[in-house]
Structure 1
């Protein structure tokens, strides 16, 4: 596995493989890798000749500087895991490789996708995501790029950014990988205590109940039940919504011709956990 530590070595590597006619698959990460990330590379390996990873903790998508400071850095372990997975190359840029003119996000028109859910709680977050992903896609020039459905809103935003910037890449969503307990795999899980980790199954279990209730109850009744579950738990519910999968707008009524997804964000102590589930 090649480790590409600056933009020039990456560009040379990409040019060489493109000249050879290789199809390139890519999944960017912020490190602290787990099996959820690995599922992206396993998918990429099936559909491409060359699989590339990147590890870069992007400062412009953190609203809270403490979150950025506390983000787990496990580069050596990450590189070993990527090599074992059969990734061909990993790009580990410095901040100036991505932001040559300083740490500043571009501003995007995401057709309102960024105003929903996470956008309300994390202003500017998606401009940071769009900026880093656009820059990485321009540098890596992949044919296919892979992102997890756990961050479903992020996936929708990236698809919209690619559509608007007309980048020649196909974006693939890969289903959420879960621990045996049902907890969605996330780098943030490393910050949970053993007790919190066990209790965090409440999020997945609640989503399964919502999927059942969706068939027989109104949105209002479902919301009341979810709020009650979290009031009686050790978790603080930041928000629960059911949204149209295309627009991500919260719905208060189910239309037969639309697809819906339930989203939960809750705090275990100071650790913010997110999850979602397709309902129809």
Structure 2
């Protein structure tokens, strides 16, 4: 069955009304396009929680800083729609900026305090306000029963879950496990920015997280020393770490024994990589 293409709000609302009349549960997979295997894997989680799956494709200007890659971010709409159709996605909402932001970019924003102010939030000021604003707008327009996000963007997932809780969205937010290359590199649209030499170095990020996880499992407990060692290993591999932290699942100070998450961001040339690893200790 051909995928339903939706580009304006009226068409989206008509489509959503039809699903409601038929009592179909709807799952949303928000994306910025330039889809890869990791994006398409999100559809599997979406199907497990709904009768109908809709993906959105929108390169959101609100989440890019002034010196970031908004203008050069890959836009591959036709290839993306074809990939979604092959993967069995039922509909795609691909609005223009004018459609989604008819009054311009200077609009009301949603800010999640504290949780969005450190880690990637400190490294990319305003980024998460742009993310939560566009996601809230998509939730309002699509009215999904469930929404699926990749766990690679771990802090983003936590922020969206907090927003849904605080604003009483009747939506189940589902985190899909990180999809990786064979050498451990987390799949990302930005990986294509890496040069051949940088691509060889890039798996050092995940390898460093695994090394720290093994040290925790072996009984090491000096968190500050472990974080410093991890940053040093990244630097030795040619990466420039923005942060590397060992935290609780809600991104606070860790409580051991218990579950912790190792989160990191590092630059490799002009490319910013992020990764995380959950560990029970």
**Mapping 1:6-85, distance limit 5 Å:** 6-85=8-87
CA distances 1:122-147 after superposition (whole Å, capped 9, x unpaired) = 11111111110000011111111000
Distance 2:246 2:107 in 1: 30
Other-structure match for 2:162 = 160
Shift of 1:64: 3.1
Bigger fraction of residues in helix = 1
Distance 1:107 1:66 in 2: 20
Distance 1:139 1:65 in 2: 30
Aligned match of 2:244 in 236, 240, 246? Answer: 240
Q: Is the 8 A contact 1:63 1:125 kept in 2?
A: yes
Aligned partner of residue 30 in structure 2, secondary structure: strand
Shift of 1:78: 0.8
**Mapping 1:192-271, distance limit 5 Å:** 192-215=194-217, 216-217=219-220, 218-246=222-250, 248-249=251-252, 251=253, 254-256=254-256, 258-271=258-271
CA 1:75–1:65 in 2, change beyond 3 Å: closer, same or farther? Answer: farther
Q: Which runs of 4+ in 1 moved over 6 A?
A: none
Other-structure match for 1:189 = 191
Aligned partner of residue 75 in structure 2, secondary structure: coil
Other-structure match for 2:182 = 180
**Mapping 1:86-165, distance limit 5 Å:** 86-165=88-167
Shift of 1:105: 4.9
Other-structure match for 1:279 = 279
Q: Which piece of structure 1 moves more, 125-134 or 217-226?
A: 217-226
TM-score, with normalisation over the residues of structure 1? 0.94
Q: Is the 8 A contact 2:111 2:129 kept in 1?
A: no
Aligned partner of residue 10 in structure 2, secondary structure: helix
CA RMSD of aligned residues (A): 1.4
Shift of 1:107: 3.7
Q: Which runs of 5+ in 1 are unaligned?
A: none
TM-score, with normalisation over the residues of structure 2? 0.94
Distance 1:188 1:72 in 2: 9
Q: Which runs of 5+ in 2 are unaligned?
A: none
Aligned partner of residue 68 in structure 1, secondary structure: coil
